Amino acid sequence: MQIRFWGTRGSLPAPLTTAAIREKLKAALAAAQGIRLDTPAAIDTFIAELPFSTSSTFGGDSSCVEIIDGEDNHLICDLGSGARRYGIEMLGRYGPKQPQTYHVFMSHLHWDHIMGFPFFPPAFIPGNRILIHSCHPEAGAAFRRQHGAPSFPVDFSQLPAAIEFVQLQPGVTSGIAGYRVTPLLQRHAGDSYGYRFEKNGKCVVYSTDSEHRTEQSEETEAFAAFFRNADLVIFDAMYSLADAVSVKEDWGHSSNVIGVELCQLAGAKRLCLFHHEPVFGDAQLEDILRQTRRLEEITRDGAPLEIISAWDGLVIEL
Amino acid sequence: MRMEVSAERRENTGVVAVRGRIDHLNATAFHDALKPYLEGCRDGNGLVLDLSGLDYISSAGLRIFMIAAKQVRTGNGRIAVAQMQPLVREIFEISHFHLVYEIFSTLDEGVAALGRAVEITAA
Instruction: Supply the ipTM of this predicted assembly.
Output: 0.91
Nearest CA in chain B to A296: B91
Say whether A215 and B70 touch across the interface (CB within 8 A): no
B36–chain A nearest CA distance, Å: 19
A118: which DSSP letter?
A: G
Say whether A294 and B96 touch across the interface (CB within 8 A): no
- pLDDT at position B120 over 60: no
**Number of domain units in chain B:** 1
pTM of the model: 0.95
Q: Which of A215, A243, A256 sits opposite B60 (nearest CB)?
A: A215
Of A161, A5, A10, A134, which is closest to residue A68 (Cα–Cα)? A5
Chain B residues closer than 8 Å to A216 by CB: 24
pLDDT of residue B116: 61
pLDDT of residue A124: 97
| A291 shares contact with chain B (CB less than 8 Å) | yes
Say whether B27 and A215 touch across the interface (CB within 8 A): yes
- Is A181 in contact with A174 (CB distance < 8 Å)? yes
Residues 199-258 of A with CB under 8 A from B: 212-217, 220, 240-243, 245-246, 255-258
Residues B45-88 have pLDDT tens digits of 899 999 999 999 999 999 999 999 999 999 999 999 999 999 99
- Residue B44 pLDDT level (bands cut at 50, 70, 90): confident
Chain A residues closer than 8 Å to B63 by CB: 213-215, 245
**What is B7-73 written as a DSSP string?**
EEEETTEEEEEEEEEE-TTTHHHHHHHHHHHHHT--TT-EEEEEEEEEEEE-HHHHHHHHHHHHHHH
Q: Report how many Cβ contacts below 8 Å link chain A to chain B.
A: 69
User: Long-range contacts of range B69-75, CB-CB < 8 Å, 24 or more positions apart?
Assistant: B69/B100, B69/B101, B70/A246, B71/B38, B72/B38, B72/B41, B72/B42, B72/B47, B75/B41, B75/B42, B75/B43
One pLDDT digit (tens) per residue for chain A, 318 residues: 999 999 999 999 999 999 999 999 999 999 999 999 999 999 999 999 999 999 999 999 999 999 999 888 999 999 999 999 999 999 999 999 999 999 999 999 999 999 999 999 999 999 999 999 999 999 999 999 999 999 999 999 999 999 999 999 999 999 999 999 999 999 999 999 999 999 999 999 999 999 999 999 999 999 999 999 999 999 999 999 999 999 999 999 999 999 999 999 999 999 999 999 999 999 999 999 999 999 999 999 999 999 999 999 999 999
A198–chain B nearest CA distance, Å: 28
The domain in which residue B8 lies consists of 3-122
Question: How far is residue A101 CA from its own chain's centroid?
Answer: 21
What CATH number does residue B96 fall under? 3.30.750.24
Give dist(CA A1, CA A270) in Å, integer.
14
pLDDT of residue B2: 85
| Secondary structure of residue A242 in the 3-state scheme | helix
- Residue B122 pLDDT level (bands cut at 50, 70, 90): very low
Give dist(CA B27, CA B22) in Å, integer.
6
A194: which DSSP letter?
A: E
Vertex A203: Cα angle to A200 and A205 (nearest 5): 150
Query: pLDDT averaged over chain B?
Result: 91
Residue A78 buriedness (CB in 10 A; 0-12 / 13-18 / 19+): buried
Q: Which of B61, B94, B96 sits opposite A295 (nearest CB)?
A: B94
Say whether B58 and A214 touch across the interface (CB within 8 A): yes
Give dist(CA A9, CA A14) in Å, integer.
7
Q: Which of A213, A215, A257 sits opposite B95 (nearest CB)?
A: A257
- Is A314 in contact with A4 (CB distance < 8 Å)? yes
The predicted model gives B21-44 an average pLDDT of 93
Residues A157-184 have pLDDT tens digits of 999 999 999 999 999 999 999 999 999 9
- pLDDT at position B118 over 90: no
Neighbouring-strand partners of residue A165: A132
pLDDT of residue A254: 97
Helices A256-266 and B86-94 pack at an angle, to 10 degrees, of 120
pLDDT of residue B119: 46
Say whether A215 and B66 touch across the interface (CB within 8 A): no
At residue B53, what is the residue type?
A: G
| Secondary structure of residue A214 in the 3-state scheme | coil
Chain A residues closer than 8 Å to B27 by CB: 214-215
- State residue A265 phi and psi, 5-degree precision: -60, -35
Give dist(CA A63, CA A8) in Å, integer.
5
- Residue B123 pLDDT level (bands cut at 50, 70, 90): very low
Say whether A240 and B24 touch across the interface (CB within 8 A): no
- Is A65 in contact with A206 (CB distance < 8 Å)? yes
Torsion of CA A123, A125, A130, A136, to 10 degrees: 20
- Is B19 in contact with B84 (CB distance < 8 Å)? no
Say whether B59 and A255 touch across the interface (CB within 8 A): yes
Domains of chain A: 2-15+56-317 (3.60.15.10)
